[in-house]
Chains A and B, each alone.
Chain A
Amino acid sequence: MEKFIKLKSIPAHISLMNIDTDMIIPKQFLKTIKRTGLGKSLFYEMRYDESGKLIEKFILNNDPYSKSKILLAGKNFGCGSSREHAPWALLDFGIRCVISPSFADIFYNNCFNNGILPIIIDEKSIQELSEYSKRKEEIEVDLNEQVILYGNKKLTFDIEPAKKKRLLEGLDNIGLSLKKIPNIEKFENSMNKTKPWI
């Protein structure tokens, strides 16, 4: 997994609330057996019309937002299914940080397993950042310091220490958990006695 330390980009703002995983990546693209190649289908139905042509007014279809690495989003972003294709599509498009007032639970977790930083900040702050998006000015996210820098201002954000560490170091969760095999074995042995039917 790629490390996440600092990220600078002109953010793209999609303010709609309750953007669900079907909107992020519709089901016809879930038939892949790979993790890559989904970026061109990100937000498919908002991005392309029925004949497959780019819809001009959709923000990600326009420069410089087509190269945005930071997405500002409405609340409850990523609700719906557990499909990890949603973060895969964002990542493949080039987005490595999503900033929203709130996220759906599974999507939030899935981000961390793919080197994407989801940041929760209040609605008002998002509006402030949105001005930078409109003016096509860059903002910067510094994970180590837990700040978003814009103009000469800065905003701090919260993140669980363990999750922060994983992103900063690009750690593989499975590798870490496999180091706890002795604990797992101990657990299994006692379970075999107390709950033999499992």
Chain B
Amino acid sequence: MSKTLYDKIWDDHLVHEDNDGTALLYVDRHLVHEVTSPQAFEGLRIQGRQVRKPKLTLAVPDHNVPTTDRSKGISDKQSKIQVDTLRNNCKEFGINLFDVNDKRQGIVHIIGPEQGFTQPGTVIVCGDSHTATHGAFGSLAFGIGTSEVEHVLATQTLIQKKSKNFRVNVNGSLPAGVTSKDVILKIIGTIGTAGGTGYVIEFAGEVIRNLSVEQRMTICNMTIEAGARAGLIAPDDKTIEYFKDRPMSPKGENWTKAVDHWKKLFSDSDAKFDKEVNIDAKDIEPLVTWGTSPQDVSPITGEVPDPEKEKDKDRRTAMYRSLEYMGLKPKMKISDIKVDKIFIGSCTNGRIEDLRMAAKLLKGKKIASDVSAMVVPGSGLVKKQAEEEGIDKVFKNAGFEWREPGCSMCLGMNEDQLSSKERCASTSNRNFEGRQGRGGRTHLVSPGMAVAAAIKGYLADVREIN
């Protein structure tokens, strides 16, 4: 019987299935961070349970860590307790930890692939919704709650119901200035934030094939913003090349065996999808979000929409609320929106290619005088690589701050936050109310668009920067 990629990985990990389709799925890789794990370890302790396969788990603090000088430790008391708790739990249960001062520390979804811990065809989970990122390598990866983290630690399995198959084909080739961030924003704008609910989305088509693996990660990363359980991209030669010689990649004879397996990971040509959407790349422009939901997208050349034109009543109410929160008027030009802050980073766009792309546009230029801007590399190794290439200097010379790796202003759990009414062009993934700080206003953009906004001081078209 023909199968989708999702079907194949699912079947390959089925430990047990009840009559009603409730399945016990084997988990090959478990990533853990400081915010969603303390209660899970506590649960194990209370019940006197062990971690079944400590070697299949990798832990890192990322959400709470300061991105400024860390030599004096973490000053925020509660953050410190969480990071200390993670360290103690890892020690007690024998789990590999990249601690705050480890060169390899970084955002959990960046370090997984970087180390080769993430691998094609595996089931990967983490107590974090953006686990979807790892789907870019053809692994079935999704976020879970803390009770499920505890379940995985204790049993190395997860109770799941199978989702439906959804394929999004992005055809043609991308116009100049359009990146994978714009592609995923376009997809979310098209299908809506609940468009993927109940599905696993496979991204396919010429555009996806032509993207680098890092760019593919940006797409899978935001699958969760489209409501889907997971996003998937079939592995190909680029994927295999990426994993060669990574610290935790298979070695020697195992490498050959693994590659043989990875090459079988694709949807059969006659596989059935429950839903399919086609997007033509030529219809995608550089995009920004204007509202407080990731589906609120507009081309940079467009204007803020008029809620009066929206037929759905609930949607209209939500739009009015968004516009008020964002301090915007219907029909104003997007390029007339003035920004205060620029944030380049996060698991969506905090990788070396993102920084290279941004630095290339920024070289020799300065940020607008009334804007403050920061770059937070996704991991210690991304930071090191960028410094070796002189990228840090480009940013610093232009007026950006160059920070230590972590989640930072993507969610503002540490000091990196917007104040009320401050407006930010951000390469992160969520523009929810209060996400980057109470009252803060977030516009989601690609790294290139963030640079354009930094230079102009307004949301601006990356195609006009040269």
Contact = CB atoms under 8 A, between A and B. Distances in A.
A180 B78 contact: no
The 9 closest A-B CB pairs, nearest first, are A197-B250, A113-B147, A33-B38, A82-B143, A110-B145, A31-B78, A84-B145, A197-B254, A84-B146
A79 B188 CA distance: 14
Interface of B: 15-16, 18, 20, 22, 24, 26, 28, 35-36, 38-39, 42-43, 47, 49, 52, 56, 63-64, 76, 78-79, 81-82, 85, 119, 122, 127-129, 131, 142-148, 150-151, 154-157, 159, 161, 193-194, 197-198, 227-229, 250, 254-255, 257-258, 261, 293, 314-315, 317-318, 321, 411-413, 420, 430, 432-435, 438-439
A41 B157 CA distance: 33
Contacts of B150: 174
30 contacts: A15-B314, A17-B315, A23-B432, A23-B433, A26-B434, A27-B412, A31-B76, A31-B79, A31-B82, A76-B197, A82-B128, A82-B144, A83-B36, A84-B36, A104-B197, A105-B197, A105-B198, A106-B143, A106-B144, A114-B147, A161-B20, A162-B22, A174-B154, A177-B24, A177-B154, A177-B155, A180-B155, A183-B16, A184-B155, A197-B258
Nearest to B314: A17
Contacts of A23: 432-434
A22 B261 contact: no
Interface string A25-58: 0111011111100000000010000100000000
Interface string A84-123: 1001000000000000001011100110011000000000
A80 B145 contact: no
A110 B146 CA distance: 8
B229 to A, nearest CB: 6
B227 A76 contact: yes
Contact of A105 (B38, B82, B227, B261): B227
A173 B39 contact: no
Interface of A: 15-18, 20, 22-23, 26-28, 30-35, 45, 50, 74-76, 79-84, 87, 102, 104-106, 109-110, 113-114, 160-162, 173-174, 177-178, 180-181, 183-184, 187-188, 191, 195-198
